[in-house]
Amino acid sequence: MTELATYAAHDAESRGRRYAEEAPAYRSEYQRDRDRIVHSTAFRRLVYKTQVFVNHEGDLYRTRLTHSLEVAQIAQTIAHALALNEELSEAICLAHDVGHTPFGHAGQDALNECMLDFGGFEHNLQSLRIVDELEEHYAEFNGLNLTFECREGILKHCSHNNAVLLGELGERFLKRQQPGLEAQLANFADEIAYNNHDVDDGIRAGLITVEELLQVPLFHLYHGEVLAKYPQLTGRRLVFEVLRRMINRLVSDLIAASAARLQDSGVRTIADVRAHSKPLVGFSDDTAELNHGLKTFLREHVYKHYKVRRMTSKARRVVSALFDAFLNDPGLMPDEHKGTSARLEKIQGTAGRARAVADYIAGMTDRYAILEHRRLFDPGERT
């Protein structure tokens, strides 16, 4: 690893773990975070969770797991170029989506609606709840006991009410401060990854065509560049050559624009970064506009496509039917979750029971949720 910049996250200056532990013998603190995430149950489940396209409809689409790996790869490139902590940014990226429900955003929206009277449901907050509370791996604590910096990076956004409840971790939302730079760049790596892989998956699924994509300035620009160099290129190779140039443009611009901002800002330490009035990682204005054009196209042509909407409406029905059934009768849940529900209900009443149901549903993979739905509602299915 190259020498870290003074404003990067340094092991020795970490704000530590919730439960004190001895320093690892041959790994850094952030490597240990990453390793705990990779060995967690929630991380393994990402392989069967949907990003946009339902996993069982085709084996080649991104799942939350492959998405998370692409995000981590992009983040490491950016961290390396800016002399930031690659290990921390990798850990944040691998964990950033572990709180997602089955069926992507449709599942999260449905679960949030179900939970409106009980404190709501938010996947980002759920990611934190998993690494702080729900993973059961260690004898001495619940969760994974990650470093403050990693938890800070996982919690991308947070409402005022939740920030008050989160104590030290919620402070920055109340004081309008920034997270460390590794967390800031992880957000951009996430966006760069999904905008570009959703183009690839969208073409593969037959929702959009290269001809339609030519109305997107960023795609048009690099499509022209590729064809100038390889006039005969068509099909998959053409798309990939364009996409790799798009990713490269976004990543290179982010690195250059952020390096310039860091220099102009005069920040010296991670404390300066946190106290700075604005985030310091970001695109230049021109590239931000190109990126915005791509996002707008995807929203209109992929996420609102009738085939995607059919999937999301099915997902909503499955999630809300499961929620209602389990909330009305927690005895329908497997013993472990029924037990958690009884325990939380004693402390928080119905809201506690609802939270246990939400945790159970949020932890399901797409196919497990579909199977549970069948077991509960199809009299011909084994229970």
- The torsion of the CA quartet 281, 286, 287, 288, rounded to 10 degrees, works out to 60
Residue type, 373: H
**For tokens 């443009």, what's the residue?**
249
Residue sitting closest to Mg ion (CB): 190
| Distance from C-alpha of 246 to C-alpha of 223, rounded to nearest angstrom | 9
**Beta pairing partners, 147:** 17
| Distance from C-alpha of 305 to C-alpha of 211, rounded to nearest angstrom | 17
Query: Please, where are the H alpha helices in the chain?
Result: 29-38, 41-45, 64-81, 86-95, 104-114, 123-129, 148-154, 160-165, 171-174, 181-204, 210-213, 217-229, 235-265, 270-275, 285-298, 306-328, 335-348, 350-362, 366-377
381: left (phi over 0), alpha (psi -120 to 50) or beta: beta
Q: Which of 190, 201, 241, 253 binds Mg ion (CB under 5 A)?
A: 190
Nearer to Mg ion by Cβ, of 11 and 97: the residue is: 97
198 binds Mg ion (CB under 5 A): no
Nearer to Mg ion by Cβ, of 101 and 145: the residue is: 101
135 binds Mg ion (CB under 5 A): no
Nearer to Mg ion by Cβ, of 61 and 326: the residue is: 61
CB atoms within 10 A of CB 158: 20
| Distance from C-alpha of 149 to C-alpha of 357, rounded to nearest angstrom | 30
**Rounded least distance, CB 315 to Mg ion, Å:** 17
**Rounded least distance, CB 311 to Mg ion, Å:** 18
Residue type, 298: L
Nearer to Mg ion by Cβ, of 10 and 96: the residue is: 96
70 binds Mg ion (CB under 5 A): no
**Rounded least distance, CB 74 to Mg ion, Å:** 11
- Cα 195 vs. chain centroid, distance in angstroms? 13
122 binds Mg ion (CB under 5 A): no
**Rounded least distance, CB 171 to Mg ion, Å:** 24
Size of interface with Mg ion, in residues (CB under 5 A)? 2
**Rounded least distance, CB 95 to Mg ion, Å:** 11
| Distance from C-alpha of 211 to C-alpha of 239, rounded to nearest angstrom | 11
Tell me, residue by residue from 308 to 347, as one string, x for binding to Mg ion by CB under 5 A and - for no binding.
----------------------------------------
Q: Are 258 and 89 in contact (CB under 8 A)?
A: no
Nearer to Mg ion by Cβ, of 124 and 312: the residue is: 124
Nearer to Mg ion by Cβ, of 190 and 359: the residue is: 190
Residue type, 50: T
The SS3 call for residue 17 is: strand
201 binds Mg ion (CB under 5 A): no
**Rounded least distance, CB 190 to Mg ion, Å:** 4
**Rounded least distance, CB 185 to Mg ion, Å:** 14
Q: Which of residues 209-248 bind Mg ion (CB under 5 A)?
A: none
Tell me, residue by residue from 74 to 103, as one string, x for binding to Mg ion by CB under 5 A and - for no binding.
-----------------------x------
182 binds Mg ion (CB under 5 A): no
- Cα Rg of the chain, angstroms: 22
**Rounded least distance, CB 123 to Mg ion, Å:** 9
191 binds Mg ion (CB under 5 A): no
**Rounded least distance, CB 194 to Mg ion, Å:** 6
Give the residues lining the site for Mg ion (CB under 5 A): 97, 190
